[in-house]
Chains A and B, each alone.
Chain A
Amino acid sequence: METHGSEEARQPAAMTVGDAIVAAAAEESRTEARVTSEAQAKNEPHAQSGAHAATGANIASPPKPVAHGRPIVITSGKGGVGKTTTTANLGAALADAGQNVVVVDADIGLRNLDVVLGLENRVHRHLLDVIEGKSTLDDALVRDRARRTLNLLPAAQNREKDDVPTDAMLALINDLAVCFDYVLIDSPAGIEKGFRNAIAGAKEAIIVTTPEVSAVRDADRIIGLLPPDIEAKLIVNRVRPALVKKGTMMSVQDVVEILRLELLGVVPDEKDIIIATNRGTPVIDVEGSETGAAFRRIARRLLGENVPIPDMTAPEGFVERLKTSLGLSKSQARRA
């Protein structure tokens, strides 16, 4: 177990899930719309989380902490379009910019955020342990060695998404928003309970899609399922300018025309991504990666900077540089 040195924004040791639930109860009226009747039916009495809840209910609560952090869910509908990669890289880039960040893996049973960040060997406790009172938040959070303000709250691998009541997820996210500047929630694919839990507590959403008909269709579905008070923006991932030019891939404009969301960023496709993922390195750390550069730009936009989105299909120079970074020569590009 790591020792935490003198830290500014560490959470107060007294904060437990029980306390967070007390704080969350006050917000109930605003967030009620998000809780489905199913979640209410399955709502486990928080007394089950043992000692923590009892403490939370009986002690005189400290003055209600203000949640200043931004809870953002990264979701897509379609699987495999880059949610986890986006969450990891944006988290890392924001941490580099001095922000206190927690990335939350909400894909219970199929966790991957830990792998993408290269932290899988340091996962001891997870999100479900915290919710069920078997662990404090402190114990479950994994802090990145290279980036001291980047933390991971891992998912459980051997459990199921039905095990998490939506109310508890809501309370947890509110809790995290008290301690961190950015709470990035990596949503699972699909539109089922896992997704509904992932959006619980989020105030903003980043919809990730690729320029393909199926992905755009699924993204549209997801957008339609978001509560009206969640502000949604769009990232178009895996853009291949050469194919757009050839006419065999949708353009970013095509995608925006259908989804009608504000564009947060465009990320080009690169071979580097797979290599980085397999090695547990965020692609923003790969020298000369255009993909990494795109994620950095997106982080700056999140921080409020006005960074223009480069037109990936225009300059010849860019396409050439892209080809080089893909390591494609003519003979390799054409298969036998």
Chain B
Amino acid sequence: MPGTVYVVTSGKGGVGKTTTTANLGGAFAKLGRKVALVDADIGLRNLDLVLGLEKRIVYDLVDLVEERCQTRQALIRDRRFHELYLLPASQVKDKEAVTEDQMRVAMRKLAATFDIVLVDSPAGIEHGFRNAIAGADQALVVTTPEVSAIRDADRILGMLGNRRARLVVNRVRPDMVRAGDMLSIEDVKEILGREIVGIVPDDEEIIDTTNRGEPVVLDGSRRLAKIYTAIARRLLGEHVPFANLSDDGLLDRLRRLVIGS
């Protein structure tokens, strides 16, 4: 049974694709799956930075598709997890260095030996994005509850063909939702019309862990780690109820009752 290849994409940049890829990958690995993370952002690679593996890169995705190296040479093992590997992008090339066909072949090969493959897509809808989705079976569309991001996510959803697409709503701020300054989860679901598989709150901690190359899932006790684990479990087919994000859950439920949204 080949593994599943997910593309993690968004349209809008900066909503948290790379952070999601890294942490979700870590969560899958902690659940005992064999995971490969692929950075498809050739020329603007960041997944290696977020994982703290940038210094260990010798071969990359472009070397692999041009057959300058073998798969095992390009994959970097993240020893902090049980079975988590990174296939980094090249920094000195650009996205035209790889074709969609080459990506399909490469992702097929990875799916043959891994349970889960997560492909970190670049921002936008150009060649790099098309490469990223080329080898993917399913899509995870990351968005934030902001008008611009939702709009771009909507455009992206229309470009994913027949692939199953589910949403991860990132950087949610319950206080702002309450005050009416930010779209609610219900709003997002209604506009985009897809299953939501993760709701991740805005958390200052992420910035620090990203800068230090230590994915937050490393510490299982952290709130964010539990949330990413929940996402992984939902993707694996489990039914996991969503955690209550607001400080005052009662107020939220009352509000919904009263406003009926």
Contact = CB atoms under 8 A, between A and B. Distances in A.
Nearest to B18: A214
Nearest to B248: A336
Interface in A246-303: 248-250, 271, 274-275, 277-278
A104 to B, nearest CB: 17
Contact of A274 (B14, B46, B176, B207): B176
A229 interface: no
Contacts of B12: 79-80, 110, 112
DSSP majority for the A interface? loop
A277 B148 contact: yes
B140 to A, nearest CB: 17
Interface string B194-236: 0000000101100110110000000000010000000000000
A121 to B, nearest CB: 13
B214 to A, nearest CB: 12
Contact of A213 (B44, B49, B146): B49
Interface string B7-32: 00001111100100000000000000
Interface in A101-117: 109-110, 112, 115-116
A194 B122 CA distance: 13
Contacts of B44: 77-78, 190-191, 217-218, 221
B127 interface: yes
A212 B61 CA distance: 25
A161 interface: yes
B112 interface: no
Contacts of B127: 192-193
Contacts of B247: 332, 335-336
B14 A243 contact: no
A80 B17 CA distance: 11
A189 interface: yes
Contacts of A28: none
Contact of B204 (A77, A189, A194, A243): A243
A63 B125 CA distance: 41
A116 B44 CA distance: 26
A332 to B, nearest CB: 6
Contacts, number: 123
A161 B204 CA distance: 35
Given A112-B151, A243-B204, A336-B247, A212 B210 contact: yes
B104 interface: no
A79 B126 contact: no
Nearest to A84: B148
A165 interface: no
A231 interface: no
Interface string B231-258: 0000000000000000100000000000
Interface residues of A, number: 40
Contacts of A80: 12-15, 123
B208 A248 contact: yes
Contacts of B105: none
B77 interface: no
Contacts of B123: 78-80, 188-190
Nearest to A81: B14
Contacts of A27: none
B124 A116 contact: no
Interface string A80-102: 11001000000000000000000
A224 B248 CA distance: 49
B108 interface: no
B191 to A, nearest CB: 13
A157 interface: yes
B124 A189 contact: yes
15 contacts: A110-B12, A110-B152, A188-B123, A189-B13, A190-B128, A192-B128, A194-B126, A212-B207, A213-B210, A214-B46, A214-B49, A218-B46, A248-B207, A275-B176, A278-B183
B3 interface: no
Most buried by B among A217, A243, A250, A332: A217
Interface in A150-176: 157, 160-162
